[in-house]
Amino acid sequence: MKLGISTCLLGTMCRYDGGHSKDKFIVNELGKYFEFTAFCPEREIFPTPREAIRQVKINDEVKIKTSNTNIDVSEKIEDISKKIINTIQEDELCGYILKSKSPTCGMGKVKIYPNKKNGQSENVGVGIFANELKK
């Protein structure tokens, strides 16, 4: 059976900081029973390492911005997420494992920041890719 998975969970060094988020249970245990099809939406459009991105609430909308340079990359992330989802339709996946807390892959409790420096974040967001996947 095939499972989709966030690439960094398999140990691939595709995180913004050049690291990975390898999950030994997934790799060593689930790996015995499932075939993984991995996707990293951010790596498709940005280099690694790269500036971190985060969700920012602007009026009633949530945008994705680079953490330090404050560049709006929402459209890029949304576009690549939709493209990947389109290819996934052909893959006959029976499920998907998503990296927690990521502004792209997080299934829930993703931090949303106010549109100002040093503001308090709330853990209520959903990653852009995860949201498309749920749809």
Residues of this chain that interact with ligand SF4 (CB under 6 A) are 6-8, 14-15, 40-43, 99, 102, 104-105
- Min CB(60)–ligand SF4 separation in Å: 25
CB 53 within 8 A of CB 16: yes
Q: Which CB, 7 or 55, lies closer to ligand SF4? A: 7
Q: Which CB, 44 or 116, lies closer to ligand SF4? A: 44
Q: Which backbone phi and psi does 63 adopt, to 5 degrees? A: -115, 160
User: For the sheet containing 35-39, what is the strand order?
Assistant: 35-39, 2-6, 95-97
- Min CB(116)–ligand SF4 separation in Å: 25
CB atoms within 10 A of CB 119: 11
Q: Which CB, 18 or 114, lies closer to ligand SF4? A: 18
Please give the Cα distance from 62 to 64 (Å, whole number): 7
- Min CB(124)–ligand SF4 separation in Å: 18
